[in-house]
Amino acid sequence: MEQNKGRSRARRIVIILLAAVMLISGGLSLHSYLEDKRTQEEYERLAELARETTAPVETETPPAPVETEPEKPYVSPIHFEELMEENPDTVGWIKVPDTNIDYPIVQGTDNDFYLNHDFYGKESVGGSIYLDFESQGDFVGRNNILYGHNMKNGSMFKDVIYYKDEKYFKEHQYFSIYTPDREIKLKAVACYYGEAEPIVRKTRFKSQESFDAFIHEMVKPCSFAEDVTYPARTLYTLVTCSYEINDARTFLFAVEVDEDGNEIGPDEDFLQKMDDLMKEKAQAAAAGTKGDQGQEN
């Protein structure tokens, strides 16, 4: 009898423990779901704020003589003044048509903070879309590296992993990054998964030839990579987590194009700017103000 009571008591304890584990697990899952939902709703509100427009006041003006119109100054569709008031780390906005990628881009003093903090600086499992701190904040550097989480709810850089499918790649090949000064039109040229290798983070190159060789090595693993026109101007590297192998990443590479989709090559002014930038970064690295990932090669 006592033995049966002992077994019954042990069984009840096991049931209670299992129930407790299920409650805790369910609670954590619910918390994670609510946190993801809150983060996504905040970014949706942010997208609305960034694109709110005010109707222009109509005034009658006398007809002017017909002349060749001067090129109109760039007016960004994104309200960067409002965004920068919310977060001075704002450097751009990325929009990929027909995907969920429609987010502000921030840049911190390292690559850790925005990994788990949202646009407003709050702790968040979704983090932010952020530019590598070694890249140029105005996107004039050689390799502009963007990071975003691969979220289960489809937010942040989840859609980047779908570019590994050639059909999806072709259907979503063109997208844009907006800055206060310009719209950067981009064309995807390669996508694949691999280990999180530091070489992808290279941002300084001692010559045009070394940069072109770098691009060639980066796109080579993709079986359906587009031909890149050399000499190349810049590279845009989108990075997100992937799960094909341990500590995997999906890399999406893109290049700048003009209105007609033609790749933009480097002109003399750009090459001079790159030379000046390389010297500045070399001096900063020598002074110990930067890490070594952006070193020349």
Nearest to 265 by CA among 220, 226, 234: 234
Phi, then psi, of 34 in degrees rounded to 5:
-65, -40
Pull the structure tokens for residue 173. Answer: 């090949």
| pLDDT mean across residues, the chain | 84
pLDDT reading at 55 higher than 60: no
Higher per-residue confidence, 6 vs 288? 288
Whole-number pLDDT of residue 289: 56
- Catalytic annotation present for 241: yes
220 SS3 class: coil
Q: In this model, does residue 19 exceed pLDDT 60?
A: no
Q: What is the mean pLDDT of residues 1-29?
A: 57
pLDDT digits (tens, 9 = 90+) for 117-151: 999 999 999 999 999 999 999 999 999 999 999 99
In what helix (H) or strand (E) does residue 122 lie, and over which residues does it extend? none
Condensed to tens digits (0 to 9), the pLDDT of residues 181-238 reads 999 999 999 999 999 888 899 999 999 999 999 999 999 999 999 999 999 999 999 9
CB-count exposure of residue 178 (10 Å: 0-12, 13-18, 19+): buried
Answering whether pTM is above 0.85, one says no
| pLDDT, tens digit, 9 for 90 and up, residues 107-123 | 999 999 999 999 999 99
Annotated catalytic residue 31: no
**112: buried, middle or exposed (CB in 10 Å: 19+, 13-18, 0-12)?**
exposed
Res 274 pLDDT > 90 = no
pLDDT at 262: 95
Sign of CA dihedral 22, 26, 29, 31: negative
* Length reported for the chain: 297
pLDDT at residue 38 tops 80:
no
Residue 251: is its pLDDT beyond 50?
yes
Class of domain 80-286: mainly beta
98 neighbors 172 (Cβ within 8 angstroms): yes
Among 117, 149, 172, 191, the one annotated catalytic: 149
Q: What are phi and psi of 53, to 5 degrees?
A: -120, 150
Residue 56 has pLDDT above 80, yes or no: no
Given the residues 117, 191, 222, 241, select the one marked as catalytic.
241
pLDDT band, residue 27 (cuts 50/70/90): very low
